[in-house]
A and B are shown apart, each in its own frame.
Chain A
Amino acid sequence: MTKPRRTAGLFAGLATASAIALASLSTAQADDPIRIGFIDPLSGPFANVGDAGLKHFRFAADRINEEGGINGRQVEIVPMDNNQSASESAQLVQRAADRGIDFVAQGNGSDVAGAIIETVNRNNRRNPDNKLLYLNYAAVDPSLTNERCSYWHFRFDADTTIKLEALSNYMMERDDIEKVYLINQDYSHGHEIERRFQDLAAEKMPNVEIVGTQLHPIGQVRDFSPYVSRIRQSGADSVVTGNWGNDLSLLAREAEDAGLDVNFYTYYAGGLGVPAAIGRAGVDRVAQITEWHANVNVDEGHDEYREWVDAFKERYPDIDWYFHRVYNLMYMLKAAVEEAGSTDAEGVAAALSGMEFESHTGTITMRADDHQMLQPMYISIMDDEVEYDSENSGVGFRTLSRIEVEDATSATTCEMDRP
């Protein structure tokens, strides 16, 4: 007696399960949220970096939702922990596609970014009904918009070539920069900076002499004093470095302790624990090149955006609104979805490609040729008398120079396959 009944129960269960599965497989309903898969390290040694990014995305999504969402649909950020691993990220992209997520965002690590591009390309080729877009908010390897460029990839940060181009345009104008020393981490990012900067110096900076280059292992050096001695012996007046995290903090603090009189031009002095670790040792000494910093709002009077930055700080007191590009990314995505009328990847990609957008810093363009964002850049230096400090360190950034879009651009060799 019991046996048939159990089978019947099993069938009923299976039927219910498949009904649920079918319901979730069916195409997105008009009132379903628009989901963005956020793929970055959320555990392990780089957890703080990924976590900060996630908070930026969540905050921007909440703002958009408060304003009525996109086409009346809410935005939802789906966190996906990739452990900073390229292969895990590829699996996560696949999983996102299976779950019917239309957009994936990622930023940390160009190796990871490369793997995501390949997976997205493959998915879009094989599943034309379920295409994905990859929104890259921080991976800066130039090859991602050159040799390996893809129609489905959009980069909202300036790549290394553009940052160095902008920096060299600034250095050309300055006559107190004569001798430059390059110190970088010994991996693709550092190699790229070393190579490109030397090319640029030879090409357009006759006033600048490169007095030394140095690669050091990433994340392993505890004592930077020998490096600082070398910089001093080289007679350099400026140091260019792509170092981030402790590799930058320790270097800058060591230089301060030794009384080394040089300026540091960096990519990442404004975040990832560096301002907290360097503090006052970096005042008038450590500069960064970024697409924005908090005191731009003060200088240029962006009151609305100041309210945004303040609200973020109130919600997450430990960190600051740092990725202006996440704002650009989310609002450009909103504009693109509204223009396309749906979240269909092909339509949104077509709208994003070549899109001009009024950001706080001016008109920014997603270049159609390679999907690289072109935007004004700021060179700013640490200052302890500015209105906004970073990471509660008492030290913030003061703009040295604003590089307009025309001077912050680079050629591309991208030849992408367009649908």
Chain B
Amino acid sequence: MTTVSELFDPGAVAAAATDAILGSTLHGDARGVVVDSPPGAGKSTLVVRAALELADAGRPLMVVAQTNAQVDDLVLRLAEKNPELPVGRLHSSDADAYDKALDELPNVRKSAKAAELAGLPITISTAAKWAHVKVDEPWEHAIVDEAYQMRSDSLLAVAGLFRRALFVGDPGQLDPFAIVGSEQWAGLSYDPSASAVTTLLAHNPELPQHRLPVSWRLPASAAPLVSAAFYPYTPFRSGTDHGDRALSFAIPSDGSGPDRVIDEAAESGWGLLELPARHTPRTDPEAVRAVATVVRRLLDRGGAATSERSPDPSPLTADRVAVGTAHRDQAAAIRAALADLGVTDVTVDTANRLQGREYDVTVVLHPLSGRPDATAFHLETGRLCVLASRHRHACIVVCRAGVGDLLDDYPSTEPVQLGTVVKFPDGWEANHAVLAHLAEHRVVWQP
């Protein structure tokens, strides 16, 4: 019998989606096109391809990204695809305003003044820098990258610079926020603290909306969970199937908790290293040490990753592993603990900074581990989504027991603003969904 999954050709489905998006962008008559892209669905590839095709079509293009790192990354990717194409990198007047790697690219012109980049087929900068640019004649086209992480007011500041735009982003990651209250504007279609896409669609509901349906990053073991928990109304699939990827270790398990959870994760894609229930400060020393030990063992055991990318296994090196936390002090504590174990080149960062990044294996300190209370910050859906969707092979979560009770005891008496759209999924539900799944891959360990 033929199953649905055998009929599903991820490459074809994804290509069809991309063609439709490029069709809308290049030949459609809507002023805007919105593309939702789940984790690892090829957003950057799409942005680069759309940019090149727009440039080919002779349409002057501006690209808006949210951080300098994202801008530099796009410039590098464009140059890699088409080294001949002149690209303008508009940057701030601060020192170290852009990645020095751009200096190696002959066709990339850099300037802090937009006028000096006039006439180039593509100009790229951050939303913050674009906001200071004044032009008489707007760009024919714009691409707005990470549009769900851009605030409505920052789109307001740049929207006058272009006639039409392609908005690309991941609705499941962390929402933009304001450091002061903005309740006064809640329910207004142009609430300045809302995401740029929310405002755009509230005013232009007729705009074509597309979705990239296939995650090429997340393995078959992760896509269903991440899709169900964080994208309940816009499901996506993994581009690879069970068995397409494998993670193996040359050195067998020593029977310790960290080794057992590594084996569990290598086998199933997920691992939960559960420490005894206890209320701890954020930088729980046992949990921090447990994370560091797992990382040390991952590197020591001679890991090798096989995937659809190449028939030969590639070694699991430090640059293919990352640690994710909720708070900066936790990241600092884990870096220190790793340094004590002689590991210095593994990325350790907060969810905010891991957005958009990809690794073979991630080790996550659960945001609610050891906490006496859950808060809205820790329950934020986007935070857990980012942490649980950075990996190509496996994700290992370190957590103290008792998070389930903590969630159950969480008071839910949120205020409700009239006229605002309820955001789904709810952080509570998403946390429970992930926790329930992790429980099937639990290794209980008393360090």
Q: Is this pair of chains taken from one and the same complex?
A: no
B interface, CB within 8 angstroms of A: none
